[in-house]
Amino acid sequence: MLGARPVAGVRVIFQHSIVRAMGRARSPVFWLGHTLFYRFRSTGRGDGDAVDTRQRWSVVIPVKRLSMAKSRLAEFAGERRPEMALAVACDTVRAVTATPEVAAIFVVTEDATAAAALERFGAHVVTGEPGTGLNAALRHGAARARLAYPDAGVCALSADLPALRPAELSQVLAAAATYPNAFLADAHGVGTTVYSALPRAVFAPAFEGWSRLRHRQSGAVELELAGVPTVRHDVDTPEDLWAAARLGVGPHTAALLDSLGLARTGG
């Protein structure tokens, strides 16, 4: 449907007030109306313009203080571990900026160095997180995102996806747009790299540990997609980093690996 042209003289118009009224009940009718409204709105000025059928997303990315990040890479990267954490985050955000469905990126961090680096990619930096864990930080960022972009869905994304490809993230977001809440399991099948909520759906991330099971138990739909390995391969250990390197990491991570005298593979 992407790029399809509307039939001349015919417009599909759903009044936002009707969709909002149905939303109070959160019934199946609401989600059908919501999906139709956001998938068939036209971004053009006239009947001859193309229809953009993509749900837009605010992507919320949590970034720890660099001095505390990637502790399990300490033996591998030594004193350059904070640089590794920043390089991986930069490659993640860089790929997200090139994903068509993304309306905005919100980076939740209290680290000034990370904030300055990621702002250069156009990310909005959100500070003042509650300090009560990852999920609280994500909810804090999502609240800011929904104030700025109320018609966009909210997607929480791991900050440690150095091989991330925009085309694969686009595939994941397109699949997520068909469910009120959805998630993508990591490559180990234990954790989660993506958790999403459509506009007006409850945003209740449950990251860390056995988050795949917790997200499933919460009622979120697991996205069982093939062909999206770069969205699943987050990096916590040296083994994870080599797995990402085989997929082909982004330029910041690649440059750091080269400076450490380490070979890299992939493209």
* Per-10-residue mean pLDDT, the chain, length 267: 33 33 39 39 43 88 92 80 95 98 98 98 95 94 98 98 98 98 97 97 97 97 97 94 95 93 59
Task: Report whether 165 contacts 227 (CB < 8 A).
Answer: no
Could you give the CA distance from residue 207 to residue 34 in angstroms, rounded to a whole number? 27
Q: Which two tokens stand for residue 58?
A: 């605010």
- Domain extent for 74: 57-259
Q: Is residue 175 part of a domain?
A: yes
Q: H or E element: which one contains 184?
A: strand 181-185
Q: Is residue 7 part of a domain?
A: yes
Q: Which two tokens stand for residue 221?
A: 């739909």
Q: Which of 20, 37, 53 is the last residue of a domain?
A: 53
What tens digit of pLDDT does each residue of 168-221 get? 999 999 999 999 999 999 999 999 999 999 999 999 999 999 999 999 999 999
Q: Is residue 217 part of a domain?
A: yes
Residues 45 and 136 placed together within one structural domain of the fold? no
Q: Is residue 61 part of a domain?
A: yes
Helix (H, G, I), strand (E, B) or coil at 124: strand
Cα angle for residues 214, 35, 164 (degrees, 5° grid): 55
Residues 110 and 183 placed together within one structural domain of the fold? yes
Q: Which of 88, 235, 229, 252 is closest to 167 using CA atoms?
A: 229
Residue-level pLDDT at 202: 98
Task: Report whether 80 contacts 110 (CB < 8 A).
Answer: no
Residue-level pLDDT at 46: 41
Could you give the CA distance from residue 152 to residue 141 in angstroms, rounded to a whole number? 14
Residues 143 and 214 placed together within one structural domain of the fold? yes
Residues 104 and 188 placed together within one structural domain of the fold? yes
Q: Which two tokens stand for residue 195?
A: 């958790």
Residues 234 and 222 placed together within one structural domain of the fold? yes
Residues 121 and 214 placed together within one structural domain of the fold? yes
Q: Is residue 1 part of a domain?
A: yes
Number of C-beta neighbours around residue 185 at 10 A: 20
Residues 136 and 223 placed together within one structural domain of the fold? yes
CATH number, domain containing residue 109:
3.90.550.10
Helix (H, G, I), strand (E, B) or coil at 161: coil
Looking at the structure of the chain, the number of domains it has is: 2
Q: Which two tokens stand for residue 88?
A: 């991986």
Residues 125 and 176 placed together within one structural domain of the fold? yes
Strand partners, 106: 60, 124
Residues 29 and 149 placed together within one structural domain of the fold? no
Residues 150 and 233 placed together within one structural domain of the fold? yes
Residues 245 and 154 placed together within one structural domain of the fold? yes
Residue-level pLDDT at 74: 75
Residue-level pLDDT at 18: 32
Residues 109 and 141 placed together within one structural domain of the fold? yes
Could you give the CA distance from residue 3 to residue 202 in angstroms, rounded to a whole number? 30
